[in-house]
């Protein structure tokens, strides 16, 4: 075992786009174990758009993050030492262990999920982890997909969007995804089975939505907000469900952010627009993961990840997330 715990601390509140200099690297001693505690060695650390808001204390559903704190981050790791018979050495666990090599917990102070032996750690962080759960509960509980529904998903080639789209296909929907490159669009239709994809950077999104969704959109699963949300709202069908999962286009904004101009179409179309926080479904994660593992085993759901090598790449990787480097779940392999 190494005798240093590599960490990245929050060094500055970001102004505009997040920067590597917003973090400070430090090495600390590996924490000592107390009674009932386990020592978790992280294997993969997740990069999530919500980290940007937490750096600014804008994410009000989690505790504030202060300058000098270990940067919060989701990860999967392996129990390396254990004083708790409920959690044996070698168990794969996932939780909010932070941008660091080691974390300690008794299972309650820092809650974590355990995964069955043989679970792919990349899947534990991706399709079976927080973003997979977000796709599952956002689409199924808020979107309420029915066979034949026209589903449009923004941020479709990312961790959440790619899983939401695949689940919508499983439910018999027609699925159109929006993504930021031709390669990503090709991956959505060629590999994941989306019915169509729109490159929102090079194509006219409104024109393409008119062409692909002539009878309107039944479910719009939104990961980006901004202009694309407005274009979707303009095209919703009667009784549509607009699932507000995220709004990445606003996370690095500096000035005031305009609201959706076309929100009143919710009235004309008798539609519903609803946000959610995936953590509210935590008690159901185990059952959802089991169902999703069944889909994976049956070849109906694919896990994909963009893996960046090396702990010290963490700050750069967060910048790259906002630049769209990833297809599927973005993570850094730390060990
Ligand atoms: N409600 C919840 O509980 C919850 C939980 C988890 C995540 N979320 C939200 O879900 C969304 C997706 O998160 P994720 O972790 O799965 O990330 P992700 O989609 O894997 O990665 C972010 C992607 O966003 C795209 N992007 C970046 N800037 C953009 C912009 N200005 N306009 C449009 N697209 C942009 C990039 O892809 P392109 O190449 O396509 O631009 C990038 O790959 C985020 O908004 C996040 O906050 C919500």
Q: Mind listing the pLDDT tens digit for each residue in 228-285?
A: 999 999 999 999 999 999 999 999 998 888 899 999 999 999 999 999 999 999 999 9
pLDDT-derived band at 218 (thresholds 50, 70, 90) equals: very high
Q: Is 319 near ligand 1, meaning CB less than 6 Å away?
A: no
Q: Is 277 near ligand 1, meaning CB less than 6 Å away?
A: yes
Can you read off the two tokens belonging to residue 74?
A: 């989701």
Q: What is the pLDDT of residue 108?
A: 86
Q: How far is Cα 239 from Cα 219, in angstroms, rounded to an integer?
A: 9
Q: How many residues does the chain have?
A: 335
Q: In what order do the strands lie in the sheet with 236-244?
A: 196-199, 174-179, 150-153, 217-222, 236-244, 272-275
Record the pTM. 0.97
Q: Mind listing the pLDDT tens digit for each residue in 104-137?
A: 999 888 889 999 999 999 999 999 999 999 999 9
| Burial class of residue 220, CB neighbours in 10 A (0-12, 13-18, 19+) | buried
Task: Indicate whether 61 pLDDT > 90.
Answer: no
Q: What is the pLDDT of residue 2?
A: 55
Can you read off the two tokens belonging to residue 3?
A: 């005798």
Q: Which residues, including other chains, have CB under 8 Å from residue 148's CB and lie 6 or more apart?
A: 172, 173, 174
pLDDT above 70 covers a percentage of the chain that reads 99
How high does pLDDT run on average in the chain? 96
Q: Is 160 near ligand 1, meaning CB less than 6 Å away?
A: yes
Bridge partners of residue 176, in order along the sequence: 152, 196
| Burial class of residue 186, CB neighbours in 10 A (0-12, 13-18, 19+) | middle
Q: Mind listing the pLDDT tens digit for each residue in 132-143?
A: 999 999 999 999
Q: Is 306 near ligand 1, meaning CB less than 6 Å away?
A: no
Please answer whether residues 61 and 279 qualify as being in contact, where contact means their C-beta atoms are separated by less than 8 angstroms. Answer: yes
Q: What is the pLDDT of residue 109?
A: 85
Pocket test for ligand 1, best of 143, 153, 155, 165 (most atoms within 8 A of CB): 155
pLDDT-derived band at 157 (thresholds 50, 70, 90) equals: very high
E strand spans, the chain: 4-10, 23-29, 38-46, 75-82, 92-95, 102-105, 112-115, 150-153, 174-179, 196-199, 217-222, 236-244, 272-275, 305-309, 329-333
| Burial class of residue 250, CB neighbours in 10 A (0-12, 13-18, 19+) | middle
Please answer whether residues 330 and 46 qualify as being in contact, where contact means their C-beta atoms are separated by less than 8 angstroms. Answer: yes
What are the two backbone dihedrals, phi and then psi, of residue 206, each rounded to the nearest 5 degrees?
-60, -45
pLDDT-derived band at 1 (thresholds 50, 70, 90) equals: very low
Using DSSP's 3-state secondary structure scheme, residue 127 falls into coil
Cα of 223 from ligand 1 centre, angstroms: 5
Q: Is 159 near ligand 1, meaning CB less than 6 Å away?
A: yes
Q: Is 179 near ligand 1, meaning CB less than 6 Å away?
A: yes
Task: Indicate whether 3 pLDDT > 50.
Answer: yes
Q: Which atom of ligand 1 is nearest to the CA of 178?
A: 40
Segment 180-203 shows an average pLDDT of 98
Q: How far is Cα 156 from Cα 176, in angstroms, rounded to an integer?
A: 9
Q: How far is Cα 54 from Cα 34, in angstroms, rounded to an integer?
A: 29
Q: What is the pLDDT of residue 64?
A: 86
Q: How far is Cα 176 from Cα 232, in angstroms, rounded to an integer?
A: 12
Pocket test for ligand 1, best of 223, 318, 326 (most atoms within 8 A of CB): 223
Q: Which domains does the chain have, with CATH numbers?
A: 4-126+303-333 (3.90.180.10), 130-278 (3.40.50.720)
Rounded alpha-carbon distances, angstroms, from residue 65 to 2, 95, 179, 220, 284: 27, 17, 31, 32, 27
């Amino acid at each position: 075992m190494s005798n240093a715990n590599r960490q990245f601390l929050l060094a500055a509140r970001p102004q505009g786009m997040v920067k590597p200099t917003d973090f400070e690297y430090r090495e600390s001693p590996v924490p000592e174990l107390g009674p009932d505690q386990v020592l978790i060695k992280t294997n993969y650390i997740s990069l999530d758009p919500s980290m940007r808001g937490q750096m600014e204390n804008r994410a009000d559903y989690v505790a504030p993050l202060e300058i000098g704190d270990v940067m919060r981050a989701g990860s999967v790791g392996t129990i390396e030492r254990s004083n708790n018979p409920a959690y044996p050495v070698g168990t794969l666990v996932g939780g909010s262990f932070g941008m660091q090599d080691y974390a300690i917990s008794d299972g309650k102070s820092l809650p974590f999920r355990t995964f069955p032996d043989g679970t792919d750690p990349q899947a534990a962080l991706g399709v079976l982890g927080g973003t997979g759960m977000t796709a599952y509960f956002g689409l199924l509980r808020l979107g309420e997909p029915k066979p034949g529904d026209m589903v449009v998903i923004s941020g479709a080639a990312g961790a959440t969007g790619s899983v939401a789209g695949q689940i919508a296909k499983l439910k018999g929907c027609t699925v159109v995804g929006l993504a930021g490159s031709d390669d990503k669009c090709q991956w959505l239709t060629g590999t994941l089975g989306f019915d169509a994809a729109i490159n929102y950077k090079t194509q006219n999104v409104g024109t393409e939505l008119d062409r692909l969704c002539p009878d309107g959109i039944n479910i719009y699963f939104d990961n980006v907000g901004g202009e694309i949300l407005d274009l979707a709202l303009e095209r919703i069908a009667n009784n549509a469900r607009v699932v507000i999962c995220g709004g990445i286009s606003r996370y690095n904004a500096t000035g005031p952010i305009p609201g959706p101009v076309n929100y009143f179409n919710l009235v004309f179309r008798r539609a519903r627009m609803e946000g959610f926080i995936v953590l509210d479904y935590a008690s159901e994660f185990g059952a959802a993961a089991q169902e999703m593992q069944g889909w994976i085993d049956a070849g109906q759901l694919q896990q994909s990840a963009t893996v960046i090598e090396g702990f010290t790449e963490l700050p750069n990787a967060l910048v790259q997330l906002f630049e769209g480097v990833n297809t599927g779940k973005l993570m850094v392999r730390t060990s």
